[in-house]
């Protein structure tokens, strides 16, 4: 538990639903990401359109030979990068992503799919609970939609400069999320996470028969697979920045508030 | 300072190693497998709920046919009986339809070609992640089953194939087979394809006839079909899971 200085007040920051769905989502996204990379490793190449143009993927991880030694190579368009040990070839094995980031670590498309489709349900149902509870309670409107005062270009520039210098709001200003935070959370919740579900369903031949317009929306099944991969990459980027921001702002206070719901605000500053 | 950091990092690596091997142990745990596999029933029911029984898989114009349609699984079966059939131009091949049927059938390739047929240009989605578009012509499965007359107890249609895909597996698990339910068997796009892209089916794509079950992944589309059997359940076949890959952990319902 963070120590609360006597000059601080505790505010109720996160509702029980938000806290529960946050941690269930952490687990689901972790399993989906690692099992997703296991599935990706079955064919570590990405294409645009409906079909796989096998000779011309826009991105691929392959193993090549140089001087009798296998090397891992990542191709993006015409560019080639040597990525031995990480992408293309790692752990004495030809594989897209390395063992330490796939679930399971050994190669098994069948097991990867089991984990993925079980936790896809967990992820989707958990997301529905989060959305319906927080839209109904007004949390999204009150706390996630930026205030009019937060959206002025001057205000945004100041926030960007503050973030770059790792200076975060204190006192009264810390009672609400800043605009960059709000916009990021909105983009993740309403664009990125739904993108994962929709591009995922676009790859299902069963769903294609039910909703033929769905893969079309993304430019075909292989494009949907590409967008699934790119959206997942953006989620990884979000998580990295999110965790970094928690660590450099007020780690125990932030982490504690996502567990207990209470967030300490220092008085008499700023 | 550096010593502390190194100790931290090696501690972190050790903890990571423990977490990874715990994930592998979890994956191999039969109880965990059983729980995870539950999602398959949920997925099948949910998809069937939002999909009309006869909803068609998307069909494409000729111009979209893939020039580089990949072949997976068996591509050149070495089974002597099959090689003999290839040598004879499949003149001796017979498609047997039996099991829980009123009138078992045995059809030559010419007789199969005389059955009510359908041609469709569809996208084939491999479980590995790739897709290719091909044009398929073949006998519609529904009318064929009606001709044999399914008995009331029949619930699934099993496809017994000519190819041994896993020669090291015990008897009963080595040869390819697949199964589908009656909803998919009677789907208008479910055909026994004998032509691909206007040519007789090539050996690597399952000559002389393969199943097309367009709303599911590639491994359901059994190649080298020899016998179609109507059954009440498939627990007694192979590993009991309803197919070669199903016996190896893949979903029986491959709509996703």
Sign of CA dihedral A93, A26, A188, B51: positive
Predicted local confidence at residue A270, as pLDDT: 43
Residue A206 distance to chain B (closest CA, Å): 4
- Chain B residue with CA closest to A115: the answer is B36
pLDDT in tens, A29-60: 999 999 999 999 999 999 999 999 999 999 99
Predicted local confidence at residue A2, as pLDDT: 53
Query: Is pLDDT above 70 for A6?
Result: no
In A156-215, the residues whose Cβ lies within 8 Å of chain B are 203-212, 215
**pLDDT tier, B90 (very low <50, low <70, confident <90, very high otherwise):** very high
**pLDDT tier, A205 (very low <50, low <70, confident <90, very high otherwise):** very high
**pLDDT tier, B7 (very low <50, low <70, confident <90, very high otherwise):** confident
Verify whether the Cβ–Cβ distance B23 to A203 is below 8 Å: no
Least-confidence region, from A183-187, B2-6, B14-18:
B2-6
How confident is the model over A139-150, as a mean pLDDT?
92
A177 vs A80: CA distance, rounded Å: 42
Verify whether the Cβ–Cβ distance A117 to B217 is below 8 Å: no
- Residue partners of B199: CB distance under 8 A and separation at least 6: none
Task: Could you list the beta-strand ranges (E) of chain B.
Answer: 95-99, 105-107, 117-125, 131-140, 156-164, 175-181, 191-196, 199-200, 210-212, 225-231
Predicted local confidence at residue B133, as pLDDT: 98
Residue A210 distance to chain B (closest CA, Å): 5
Predicted local confidence at residue A217, as pLDDT: 97
Verify whether the Cβ–Cβ distance A117 to B43 is below 8 Å: yes
How confident is the model over B193-210, as a mean pLDDT?
98
> Contact B220/B57 with Cβ under 8 angstroms?
no
* Interface probe with B: pick from A205, A211, A222, most Cβ of B within 10 Å: A205
Verify whether the Cβ–Cβ distance B256 to A207 is below 8 Å: yes
Predicted local confidence at residue A5, as pLDDT: 54
Verify whether the Cβ–Cβ distance A206 to B256 is below 8 Å: yes
pLDDT in tens, B176-196: 999 999 999 999 999 999 999
Predicted local confidence at residue A107, as pLDDT: 96
In B92-121, the residues whose Cβ lies within 8 Å of chain A are none
How confident is the model over A182-186, as a mean pLDDT?
95
A51 vs A62: CA distance, rounded Å: 20
Verify whether the Cβ–Cβ distance B215 to A208 is below 8 Å: yes
Predicted local confidence at residue B117, as pLDDT: 98
Kindly report the average pLDDT of chain B as a whole number. 96
Residue A206: which of B23, B66, B215 has the nearest Cβ? B215
Verify whether the Cβ–Cβ distance B33 to A206 is below 8 Å: no
CB of B236 less than 8 A from some CB of A: no
Query: Is pLDDT above 50 for A269?
Result: no
**Residue B105 C-beta-side C-alpha neighbours within 13 Å:** 22
- Residue partners of A11: CB distance under 8 A and separation at least 6: A175, A262, A263, A264, A265
pLDDT in tens, A52-107: 999 999 999 999 999 999 999 999 999 999 999 999 999 999 999 999 999 999 99
How confident is the model over B33-40, as a mean pLDDT?
96
Residue A206: which of B38, B51, B250 has the nearest Cβ? B51
Residue A43 distance to chain B (closest CA, Å): 6
Verify whether the Cβ–Cβ distance B215 to A42 is below 8 Å: no
Verify whether the Cβ–Cβ distance A104 to B23 is below 8 Å: yes
Predicted local confidence at residue B31, as pLDDT: 96
Chain B residues within 8 A of A34 when measuring between CB atoms: 23
Query: Is pLDDT above 50 for B131?
Result: yes
Chain B residues within 8 A of A110 when measuring between CB atoms: 245, 248-250
Q: Is B171 exposed, middle or buried (0-12, 13-18, 19+ CB in 10 A)?
A: exposed
β-strand partners of A183: none
Residue B133: which of A50, A54, A113 has the nearest Cβ? A50
pTM reported for the whole predicted model = 0.94
How confident is the model over B185-209, as a mean pLDDT?
98
How confident is the model over A119-143, as a mean pLDDT?
96
In B45-74, the residues whose Cβ lies within 8 Å of chain A are 47, 50-52, 55-58, 60, 64, 66, 68, 70
What ipTM was estimated for this complex? Answer: 0.94
Residue A144 distance to chain B (closest CA, Å): 32
How confident is the model over B120-131, as a mean pLDDT?
98
Verify whether the Cβ–Cβ distance A221 to B123 is below 8 Å: yes
Verify whether the Cβ–Cβ distance B128 to A54 is below 8 Å: no
Retrieve residue A197's tokens.
Answer: 């579900």
Would residue A248 be called left, alpha or beta, if left means φ above 0 and alpha means ψ between -120 and 50 degrees? alpha
Predicted local confidence at residue A249, as pLDDT: 87
pLDDT in tens, B154-170: 999 999 999 999 999 99
C-alpha Rg value of chain B to the nearest Å: 22
Query: Is pLDDT above 90 for B9?
Result: no
**pLDDT tier, A268 (very low <50, low <70, confident <90, very high otherwise):** low
Predicted local confidence at residue B17, as pLDDT: 87
Of all residues in chain B, the percent with pLDDT exceeding 70 is 99
């Amino acid at each position: 538990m963070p120590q609360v200085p006597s000059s601080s007040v505790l505010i109720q920051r996160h509702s029980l639903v938000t806290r529960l769905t946050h941690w269930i989502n952490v687990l689901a996204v972790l399993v989906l990401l690692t099992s997703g990379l296991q599935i990706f490793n079955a064919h570590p190449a990405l294409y645009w359109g409906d079909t796989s143009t096998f000779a011309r993927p826009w991105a691929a991880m392959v193993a090549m030979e140089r001087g009798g030694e296998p090397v891992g190579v990542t191709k993006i368009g015409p560019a080639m990068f040597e990525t031995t040990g990480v992408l293309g070839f790692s752990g004495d094995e030809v594989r897209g992503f390395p063992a330490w980031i796939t679930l399971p670590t050994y190669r098994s498309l069948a097991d990867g799919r089991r984990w993925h489709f079980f936790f896809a349900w967990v992820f989707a149902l958990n997301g529905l609970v989060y959305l319906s509870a927080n839209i109904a309670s007004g949390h999204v409107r009150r706390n996630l939609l930026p205030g009019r005062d937060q959206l002025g270009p001057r205000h945004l520039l100041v926030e960007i400069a503050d973030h770059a210098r790792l200076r975060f709001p204190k006192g009264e200003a810390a009672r609400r999320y800043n605009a960059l935070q709000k916009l990021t959370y909105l983009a993740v919740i309403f664009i990125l996470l739904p993108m994962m579900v929709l591009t995922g369903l676009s790859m299902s031949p069963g769903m294609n028969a039910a909703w033929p317009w769905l893969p079309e929306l993304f430019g075909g099944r292989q494009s949907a697979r590409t967008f699934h991969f790119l959206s997942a990459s953006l989620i990884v980027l979000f998580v990295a920045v999110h965790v970094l921001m928690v660590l450099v702002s007020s780690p125990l206070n932030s982490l504690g508030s996502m567990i207990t719901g209470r967030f300490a605000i220092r008085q008499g500053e700023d | 300072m550096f010593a502390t950091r190194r100790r931290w990092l090696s501690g972190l690596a050790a903890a990571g190693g423990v977490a990874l091997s715990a994930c592998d142990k979890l994956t191999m745990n039969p109880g965990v497998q059983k729980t995870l596999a539950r999602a398959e029933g949920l997925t099948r029911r949910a998809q069937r709920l939002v999909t009309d029984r006869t909803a068609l898989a998307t069909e494409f114009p000729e111009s979209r046919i893939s020039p580089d349609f990949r072949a997976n699984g068996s591509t050149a079966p070495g089974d002597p009986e099959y090689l003999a059939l290839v040598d004879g131009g499949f003149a001796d091949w017979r498609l047997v339809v039996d099991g829980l049927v009123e009138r078992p059938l045995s059809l030559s390739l010419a007789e199969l070609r005389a059955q009510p047929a359908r041609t469709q240009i569809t996208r084939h989605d491999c479980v590995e992640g790739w897709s290719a578009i091909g044009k398929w012509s073949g006998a519609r499965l529904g009318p064929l089953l009606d001709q044999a007359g399914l008995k009331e107890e029949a619930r699934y249609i099993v496809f017994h194939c000519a190819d041994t895909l896993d020669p090291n597996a015990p008897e009963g698990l080595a040869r390819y087979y697949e199964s589908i339910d009656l909803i998919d068997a009677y789907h208008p796009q479910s055909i026994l394809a004998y032509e691909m892209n206007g040519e007789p089916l090539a050996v690597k794509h399952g000559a002389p006839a393969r199943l097309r079950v367009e709303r599911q992944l590639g491994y359901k589309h059994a190649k080298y079909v020899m016998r179609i059997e109507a059954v009440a359940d498939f627990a007694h076949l192979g590993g009991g899971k309803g197919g070669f890959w199903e016996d190896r952990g893949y979903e029986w319902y491959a709509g996703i």
